[in-house]
Amino acid sequence: MNYWICATCGTQFSLSEMAPEHCPICEDQRQYVGHQGQEWTSIGLLQEKGYKNVVKQEEQDLIGVGISPRFAIGQRALLLRHEKGNVLWDCISLVDDETVAAIQELGGLSAIAISHPHYYSSMVTWSEKFNVPIYLHEADRQWVMRPDERIVFWSGETLELQEDITLVRLGGHFPGGTVLHWSKGAEGKGALLSGDIIYVVADRHRVSFMYSYPNLIPLPASEVGRIRDAISSYQFERIYAAWFESIVAQDGREAVIRSANRYIAALAGKL
């Protein structure tokens, strides 16, 4: 019996003897099945192959946690330290004793919140290790491959986890696509933890918004405009997207507005 993990998207499934035949997340238009066909692994197998988590400070009270070498989609999670309880933003497939000890040293966890199904990964194992709830937007409920009583489905447009930590549903890439606004981040200028709901592009001064990133399927202009308007009422200097390197260091809010306007112009043939 094992909690099998899809090797392409990193999603952990419910306990079963045989690995599942399909991964619905990879078979969806927004992802893809690996070139060798559907392959499976597990936390134990990842450890046997030498995968480890690396922990890296991003700024004061914000610590990145990612798998090395890179596994599946390759995202890193972010530990947001807070006096009323730390929040793990997004999640990864591997959690081991070393990682648990490192996070305990940083004050442990009080909650997990995840941007969208591509980063659900091994969220239930993580929540068991720390005995904490997982906040997911209810619009993406169908993509939970390992249901668990610790999952809290929230609804509506925003959820305040702490006075200065707010989940904001932006949709787009997934209907429940969520970002985390941290008003005290970036030395009080505000930070946005965006997963790939808002995607930091190569120049790290702009962002993009896609229905599918690996398959390059864009969003309609109306959606991009809606996302721009929904997030521009928040102040934020810095954007932390899904990978260690994907950060907009300055003028984050302006970067989102500028990028959304460029995107809409491009779709209209007016670039």
- Region near Zn ion per CB under 5 A, out of 20-28, 139-147, 183-191, 215-223: 20-28
HSE (side-chain half, CA atoms, 13 Å) at 150: 18
Is 6 a binding residue for Zn ion by CB under 5 A? The answer is yes
- Min dist CB 116 to Zn ion, Å, is 6
241 binds Zn ion (CB under 5 A): no
Residue 157, SS3?
A: coil
Vertex 131 angle, CA 185 and 165, to 5°: 20
Is the Cβ of residue 103 or residue 242 nearer to Zn ion in the bound state? 242
191 or 210, CB closer to Zn ion? 210
As measured in angstroms, the least distance from the Cβ of 32 to Zn ion is 9
In sequence order, the β-bridge partners of residue 160 are 166
From 5, 12, 13, 25, residue interacting with Zn ion (rule: CB under 5 A)? 25
Minimum CB distance to Zn ion smaller for 61 or for 140: 140
58 binds Zn ion (CB under 5 A): no
Residue 228 lies near Zn ion (rule: CB under 5 A): no
Quick check: 9 binds Zn ion (CB under 5 A)? yes
Q: How many CB atoms lie within 10 A of CB 119?
A: 23
Q: Which of residues 114-173 bind Zn ion (CB under 5 A)?
A: 118
CB of 233 to Zn ion, least distance (A): 24
- For Zn ion, which residue of 23, 62, 210, 219 counts as binding (CB under 5 A)? 23
Number of chain residues interacting with Zn ion (CB under 5 A): 8
- Please give the residues from 64 up to 123 whose contact with Zn ion meets the rule CB under 5 A: 118
206 touches 260 (CB < 8 A): no
How far does Cα 111 stand from its chain's mean position? Answer: 14
DSSP 89-151: ES--S---HHHHHHHHHTT--SEEE-SSGGG-TTHHHHHHHHT--EEEEGGGGGG-SS--TTE
Task: Please name the residues in contact with 43: beta carbons below 8 A apart, sequence gap of 6 or more.
Answer: 3, 5, 12, 93, 94, 95, 96, 122, 125
173-202: contacts with Zn ion (CB under 5 A)? 196
Q: Are 136 and 128 in contact (CB under 8 A)?
A: no
Residues of the shown chain interacting with Zn ion in the complex, contacts defined by CB under 5 A: 6, 8-9, 23, 25-26, 118, 196
